[in-house]
Amino acid sequence: MQYRKLGNSNLELSVITFGAWAAGGWMWGGTERTEAVKAIRSSYDVGVTSIDTAPIYGQGLSEEIVGEAIRDLPRDTIQLLTKFGLRWDLSRGSLHMKSKNTQGESIDIYKYASKESIIKECEDSLKRLGTDYIDLYQIHWPDKTTPIQETMEAVSLLIEQGKVVYAGVCNYNVDLLEEASHYINLVSNQVPYSMVKRDIEHDTLPYCIQHNLSILAYSPLERGLLTGKMKPGYQFASDDHRASLHFFTDANLTRIDAFLEKIAPLASEKQCTLGQLVLKWTIEQPGITIALAGARNEKQAQENAASVNIDLTSTEIGFITKQLNELKLVK
Protein backbone atom coordinates (compact mmCIF):
# COMPACT_ATOMS: atom_id res chain seq x y z
CA MET A 1 0.00 0.00 0.00
CA GLN A 2 1.05 3.58 -0.60
CA TYR A 3 0.28 6.49 1.70
CA ARG A 4 -0.06 10.17 0.85
CA LYS A 5 -0.18 13.25 3.05
CA LEU A 6 -3.25 15.48 3.01
CA GLY A 7 -2.52 19.10 2.13
CA ASN A 8 -0.33 20.82 4.72
CA SER A 9 -1.30 18.34 7.44
CA ASN A 10 0.62 15.54 9.11
CA LEU A 11 -2.19 13.13 8.26
CA GLU A 12 -1.29 10.35 5.85
CA LEU A 13 -4.03 8.27 4.24
CA SER A 14 -3.82 5.00 2.37
CA VAL A 15 -4.05 5.80 -1.35
CA ILE A 16 -6.98 3.42 -1.52
CA THR A 17 -9.31 4.46 1.29
CA PHE A 18 -12.24 2.28 2.31
CA GLY A 19 -15.49 4.01 1.35
CA ALA A 20 -18.21 2.86 3.74
CA TRP A 21 -21.33 4.27 2.07
CA ALA A 22 -22.49 0.90 0.73
CA ALA A 23 -21.62 -0.72 4.07
CA GLY A 24 -24.54 1.23 5.56
CA GLY A 25 -26.93 -0.29 3.04
CA TRP A 26 -28.86 2.96 2.50
CA MET A 27 -29.53 3.51 -1.22
CA TRP A 28 -27.53 0.37 -2.03
CA GLY A 29 -30.18 -2.31 -1.66
CA GLY A 30 -29.35 -3.17 1.94
CA THR A 31 -26.25 -4.54 3.63
CA GLU A 32 -24.95 -7.64 5.38
CA ARG A 33 -23.33 -6.39 8.55
CA THR A 34 -21.04 -9.35 9.16
CA GLU A 35 -19.69 -9.21 5.60
CA ALA A 36 -19.20 -5.43 5.83
CA VAL A 37 -17.17 -5.80 9.03
CA LYS A 38 -15.07 -8.52 7.43
CA ALA A 39 -14.48 -6.32 4.37
CA ILE A 40 -13.14 -3.47 6.51
CA ARG A 41 -10.92 -5.78 8.56
CA SER A 42 -9.64 -7.46 5.41
CA SER A 43 -8.81 -4.05 3.93
CA TYR A 44 -6.87 -3.14 7.05
CA ASP A 45 -4.92 -6.39 6.88
CA VAL A 46 -3.61 -5.44 3.42
CA GLY A 47 -2.72 -1.86 4.35
CA VAL A 48 -5.93 0.12 3.86
CA THR A 49 -5.77 2.02 7.13
CA SER A 50 -8.13 4.87 6.18
CA ILE A 51 -11.92 4.59 6.35
CA ASP A 52 -14.42 7.18 5.12
CA THR A 53 -17.98 7.12 6.42
CA ALA A 54 -20.83 9.49 7.32
CA PRO A 55 -23.81 9.57 9.70
CA ILE A 56 -26.32 9.59 6.83
CA TYR A 57 -25.03 6.27 5.48
CA GLY A 58 -27.67 3.98 6.90
CA GLN A 59 -28.66 6.70 9.38
CA GLY A 60 -25.83 5.80 11.71
CA LEU A 61 -25.43 2.17 10.66
CA SER A 62 -22.28 2.68 8.57
CA GLU A 63 -20.50 4.43 11.45
CA GLU A 64 -21.59 1.67 13.83
CA ILE A 65 -20.22 -0.98 11.45
CA VAL A 66 -16.93 0.90 11.14
CA GLY A 67 -16.77 1.16 14.93
CA GLU A 68 -17.32 -2.56 15.28
CA ALA A 69 -14.69 -3.37 12.65
CA ILE A 70 -11.94 -1.30 14.30
CA ARG A 71 -12.82 -2.05 17.93
CA ASP A 72 -9.80 -4.26 18.61
CA LEU A 73 -7.32 -2.44 16.37
CA PRO A 74 -4.71 0.07 17.61
CA ARG A 75 -6.40 3.45 17.17
CA ASP A 76 -3.21 5.22 16.08
CA THR A 77 -2.90 2.87 13.09
CA ILE A 78 -6.28 3.92 11.66
CA GLN A 79 -7.48 7.17 10.09
CA LEU A 80 -11.18 7.81 10.57
CA LEU A 81 -12.88 10.17 8.15
CA THR A 82 -16.49 11.12 8.69
CA LYS A 83 -18.85 13.95 7.90
CA PHE A 84 -21.57 16.24 9.16
CA GLY A 85 -24.29 18.45 7.75
CA LEU A 86 -26.98 16.02 6.56
CA ARG A 87 -29.79 15.58 9.08
CA TRP A 88 -32.60 13.07 8.70
CA ASP A 89 -33.78 13.55 12.29
CA LEU A 90 -34.28 17.33 12.20
CA SER A 91 -36.25 19.51 9.78
CA ARG A 92 -33.89 22.49 9.61
CA GLY A 93 -31.83 24.05 6.85
CA SER A 94 -32.70 23.23 3.23
CA LEU A 95 -34.23 20.02 1.90
CA HIS A 96 -31.55 17.89 0.28
CA MET A 97 -33.63 14.93 -0.80
CA LYS A 98 -36.54 12.68 0.00
CA SER A 99 -35.52 9.12 0.66
CA LYS A 100 -36.28 5.97 2.61
CA ASN A 101 -34.36 4.65 5.57
CA THR A 102 -33.01 1.12 5.83
CA GLN A 103 -36.42 -0.02 7.15
CA GLY A 104 -38.15 1.32 4.05
CA GLU A 105 -39.74 4.26 5.86
CA SER A 106 -39.88 7.67 4.18
CA ILE A 107 -37.42 10.27 5.46
CA ASP A 108 -36.57 13.85 4.53
CA ILE A 109 -32.88 14.71 4.53
CA TYR A 110 -31.79 18.30 5.18
CA LYS A 111 -28.54 20.15 4.60
CA TYR A 112 -27.89 21.82 7.92
CA ALA A 113 -24.55 22.85 9.39
CA SER A 114 -25.19 25.24 12.26
CA LYS A 115 -22.81 25.30 15.22
CA GLU A 116 -25.25 23.55 17.55
CA SER A 117 -26.03 20.85 15.00
CA ILE A 118 -22.35 20.16 14.27
CA ILE A 119 -21.50 19.79 17.95
CA LYS A 120 -24.32 17.25 18.37
CA GLU A 121 -23.39 15.36 15.20
CA CYS A 122 -19.78 15.08 16.30
CA GLU A 123 -20.73 13.64 19.68
CA ASP A 124 -23.05 11.11 18.03
CA SER A 125 -20.37 10.08 15.53
CA LEU A 126 -17.76 9.62 18.24
CA LYS A 127 -20.11 7.29 20.12
CA ARG A 128 -21.01 5.23 17.05
CA LEU A 129 -17.37 4.95 15.97
CA GLY A 130 -16.23 4.08 19.48
CA THR A 131 -13.45 6.65 19.51
CA ASP A 132 -12.59 9.93 21.19
CA TYR A 133 -11.35 11.74 18.07
CA ILE A 134 -11.98 11.98 14.34
CA ASP A 135 -8.96 12.35 12.07
CA LEU A 136 -10.73 14.25 9.28
CA TYR A 137 -14.11 15.93 9.78
CA GLN A 138 -15.86 17.04 6.59
CA ILE A 139 -19.02 18.98 5.78
CA HIS A 140 -20.98 16.61 3.57
CA TRP A 141 -22.71 19.15 1.30
CA PRO A 142 -22.74 22.96 1.27
CA ASP A 143 -25.45 24.46 3.45
CA LYS A 144 -26.75 27.75 2.02
CA THR A 145 -28.83 28.46 5.15
CA THR A 146 -25.87 28.70 7.55
CA PRO A 147 -22.97 31.17 7.15
CA ILE A 148 -19.76 29.34 6.26
CA GLN A 149 -18.03 31.27 9.03
CA GLU A 150 -20.35 29.75 11.65
CA THR A 151 -19.82 26.25 10.28
CA MET A 152 -16.05 26.48 10.14
CA GLU A 153 -15.75 28.12 13.55
CA ALA A 154 -17.70 25.19 15.02
CA VAL A 155 -15.23 22.75 13.50
CA SER A 156 -12.36 24.90 14.79
CA LEU A 157 -13.83 24.58 18.28
CA LEU A 158 -13.92 20.79 17.93
CA ILE A 159 -10.27 20.85 16.86
CA GLU A 160 -9.39 22.93 19.91
CA GLN A 161 -11.20 20.38 22.10
CA GLY A 162 -9.23 17.52 20.53
CA LYS A 163 -12.33 15.80 19.15
CA VAL A 164 -11.28 16.54 15.57
CA VAL A 165 -7.74 16.64 14.18
CA TYR A 166 -8.17 18.16 10.70
CA ALA A 167 -10.93 19.84 8.72
CA GLY A 168 -12.03 18.99 5.22
CA VAL A 169 -14.99 19.67 2.97
CA CYS A 170 -16.99 17.71 0.43
CA ASN A 171 -18.59 18.84 -2.81
CA TYR A 172 -17.21 22.39 -2.55
CA ASN A 173 -16.58 24.54 -5.61
CA VAL A 174 -13.82 27.12 -5.90
CA ASP A 175 -15.86 30.00 -4.44
CA LEU A 176 -16.85 27.99 -1.38
CA LEU A 177 -13.28 26.77 -0.88
CA GLU A 178 -11.97 30.33 -0.95
CA GLU A 179 -14.53 31.54 1.59
CA ALA A 180 -14.09 28.61 3.96
CA SER A 181 -10.31 29.01 3.89
CA HIS A 182 -10.68 32.41 5.53
CA TYR A 183 -11.93 30.75 8.72
CA ILE A 184 -10.13 27.42 9.01
CA ASN A 185 -7.14 25.48 7.73
CA LEU A 186 -8.66 23.12 5.17
CA VAL A 187 -6.61 20.13 4.08
CA SER A 188 -8.92 18.41 1.61
CA ASN A 189 -11.94 18.48 -0.67
CA GLN A 190 -13.86 15.24 -1.25
CA VAL A 191 -15.53 15.32 -4.65
CA PRO A 192 -16.90 12.87 -7.24
CA TYR A 193 -14.29 11.88 -9.81
CA SER A 194 -14.19 8.97 -12.17
CA MET A 195 -13.29 8.15 -15.75
CA VAL A 196 -16.78 9.23 -16.80
CA LYS A 197 -17.14 12.18 -14.42
CA ARG A 198 -14.16 14.51 -14.80
CA ASP A 199 -15.83 17.92 -14.37
CA ILE A 200 -13.47 18.94 -11.56
CA GLU A 201 -10.56 19.03 -14.00
CA HIS A 202 -11.78 22.43 -15.29
CA ASP A 203 -11.74 24.56 -12.12
CA THR A 204 -11.80 22.73 -8.79
CA LEU A 205 -8.81 20.47 -9.41
CA PRO A 206 -6.44 23.24 -10.59
CA TYR A 207 -7.46 25.41 -7.61
CA CYS A 208 -6.80 22.57 -5.16
CA ILE A 209 -3.40 21.85 -6.70
CA GLN A 210 -2.47 25.54 -6.51
CA HIS A 211 -3.55 25.86 -2.88
CA ASN A 212 -2.19 22.51 -1.64
CA LEU A 213 -5.60 21.02 -0.97
CA SER A 214 -5.84 17.28 -1.39
CA ILE A 215 -8.56 15.77 -3.55
CA LEU A 216 -10.33 12.73 -2.13
CA ALA A 217 -12.00 11.16 -5.16
CA TYR A 218 -15.25 9.42 -4.36
CA SER A 219 -17.09 6.97 -6.63
CA PRO A 220 -13.97 6.34 -8.77
CA LEU A 221 -15.59 3.14 -10.07
CA GLU A 222 -18.78 5.16 -10.70
CA ARG A 223 -20.81 3.01 -8.33
CA GLY A 224 -19.67 -0.22 -9.96
CA LEU A 225 -20.23 0.96 -13.54
CA LEU A 226 -16.54 0.71 -14.44
CA THR A 227 -15.96 -2.79 -13.12
CA GLY A 228 -17.26 -4.44 -16.29
CA LYS A 229 -19.78 -6.49 -14.31
CA MET A 230 -22.86 -4.57 -15.48
CA LYS A 231 -24.28 -5.28 -18.91
CA PRO A 232 -27.35 -3.89 -20.72
CA GLY A 233 -30.47 -5.19 -19.01
CA TYR A 234 -28.89 -5.21 -15.54
CA GLN A 235 -31.59 -5.23 -12.85
CA PHE A 236 -31.23 -3.22 -9.64
CA ALA A 237 -33.02 -3.73 -6.35
CA SER A 238 -36.01 -1.44 -5.84
CA ASP A 239 -34.18 0.72 -3.30
CA ASP A 240 -30.88 0.91 -5.25
CA HIS A 241 -30.28 4.55 -6.28
CA ARG A 242 -28.26 3.57 -9.34
CA ALA A 243 -31.39 2.57 -11.26
CA SER A 244 -32.29 6.26 -11.70
CA LEU A 245 -28.85 7.47 -12.87
CA HIS A 246 -28.25 8.11 -16.57
CA PHE A 247 -24.97 6.20 -16.45
CA PHE A 248 -26.88 2.94 -16.03
CA THR A 249 -29.24 3.15 -19.00
CA ASP A 250 -28.84 0.35 -21.51
CA ALA A 251 -27.49 2.82 -24.07
CA ASN A 252 -24.71 3.96 -21.76
CA LEU A 253 -23.99 0.48 -20.45
CA THR A 254 -23.40 -0.52 -24.07
CA ARG A 255 -20.98 2.38 -24.61
CA ILE A 256 -19.15 1.72 -21.34
CA ASP A 257 -18.86 -1.95 -22.20
CA ALA A 258 -17.28 -1.08 -25.55
CA PHE A 259 -14.76 1.22 -23.84
CA LEU A 260 -13.86 -1.41 -21.26
CA GLU A 261 -13.31 -3.96 -24.02
CA LYS A 262 -10.68 -1.63 -25.51
CA ILE A 263 -8.67 -1.52 -22.29
CA ALA A 264 -9.34 -5.13 -21.29
CA PRO A 265 -6.19 -6.43 -23.05
CA LEU A 266 -4.10 -4.11 -20.89
CA ALA A 267 -5.81 -5.46 -17.78
CA SER A 268 -5.03 -9.00 -18.93
CA GLU A 269 -1.41 -8.05 -19.54
CA LYS A 270 -1.16 -6.61 -16.04
CA GLN A 271 -2.98 -9.63 -14.60
CA CYS A 272 -5.56 -7.43 -12.92
CA THR A 273 -9.30 -6.84 -13.10
CA LEU A 274 -10.85 -3.94 -14.99
CA GLY A 275 -11.84 -2.38 -11.67
CA GLN A 276 -8.25 -2.51 -10.45
CA LEU A 277 -7.01 -0.92 -13.67
CA VAL A 278 -9.58 1.87 -13.31
CA LEU A 279 -8.54 2.55 -9.70
CA LYS A 280 -4.86 2.65 -10.66
CA TRP A 281 -5.54 5.10 -13.50
CA THR A 282 -7.51 7.28 -11.07
CA ILE A 283 -4.84 7.57 -8.38
CA GLU A 284 -2.24 8.41 -11.04
CA GLN A 285 -4.15 11.47 -12.26
CA PRO A 286 -2.61 14.86 -11.35
CA GLY A 287 -3.98 16.29 -8.11
CA ILE A 288 -5.83 13.14 -7.03
CA THR A 289 -4.46 12.25 -3.60
CA ILE A 290 -6.54 9.21 -2.76
CA ALA A 291 -9.45 7.23 -4.15
CA LEU A 292 -12.33 5.98 -2.04
CA ALA A 293 -13.40 2.46 -2.92
CA GLY A 294 -16.19 0.54 -1.24
CA ALA A 295 -16.33 -3.21 -0.80
CA ARG A 296 -19.16 -5.56 0.11
CA ASN A 297 -16.93 -8.47 1.04
CA GLU A 298 -13.35 -9.52 1.72
CA LYS A 299 -12.56 -10.39 -1.90
CA GLN A 300 -13.59 -6.96 -3.19
CA ALA A 301 -11.65 -5.27 -0.40
CA GLN A 302 -8.46 -7.13 -1.22
CA GLU A 303 -8.84 -6.51 -4.94
CA ASN A 304 -9.26 -2.78 -4.39
CA ALA A 305 -6.13 -2.61 -2.25
CA ALA A 306 -4.07 -4.61 -4.75
CA SER A 307 -4.73 -2.03 -7.48
CA VAL A 308 -1.98 0.11 -5.98
CA ASN A 309 0.60 -2.50 -6.96
CA ILE A 310 -0.15 -2.37 -10.68
CA ASP A 311 2.71 -0.87 -12.68
CA LEU A 312 1.40 1.52 -15.34
CA THR A 313 3.74 3.51 -17.57
CA SER A 314 2.90 7.04 -18.72
CA THR A 315 2.34 5.61 -22.21
CA GLU A 316 -0.17 3.10 -20.89
CA ILE A 317 -1.96 5.77 -18.87
CA GLY A 318 -2.07 7.91 -22.01
CA PHE A 319 -3.54 5.00 -23.99
CA ILE A 320 -6.36 4.59 -21.46
CA THR A 321 -7.06 8.34 -21.46
CA LYS A 322 -7.17 8.40 -25.28
CA GLN A 323 -9.80 5.64 -25.35
CA LEU A 324 -11.66 7.44 -22.60
CA ASN A 325 -11.73 10.74 -24.49
CA GLU A 326 -13.47 9.00 -27.38
CA LEU A 327 -16.26 7.74 -25.10
CA LYS A 328 -19.51 9.66 -25.52
CA LEU A 329 -22.32 8.99 -23.07
CA VAL A 330 -25.98 9.91 -23.48
CA LYS A 331 -27.45 12.13 -20.76
Give the C-alpha separation, 135 to 78, whole Å.
9
Which strand (E) or helix (H) includes residue 295?
none
Give the C-alpha separation, 202 to 183, whole Å.
25
List the 86-87 sheet strands across, edge first.
86-87, 106-111, 94-100
Extended beta strands in the chain, E state: 3-5, 12-14, 16-19, 50-52, 79-84, 86-87, 94-100, 106-111, 134-139, 164-170, 186-192, 214-218, 288-293
Q: Give me the catalytic one of 57, 137, 207, 218.
A: 57
Give the C-alpha separation, 325 to 82, whole Å.
34
| CA-based radius of gyration for the chain | 19
Contact 25, 237 (CB under 8 A): no
Determine the residue type at 331. K
Length of the chain: 331
Question: Residue 214 forms beta bridges with which residues?
Answer: 188
Q: Is 57 a catalytic residue?
A: yes
Catalytic residues: 57
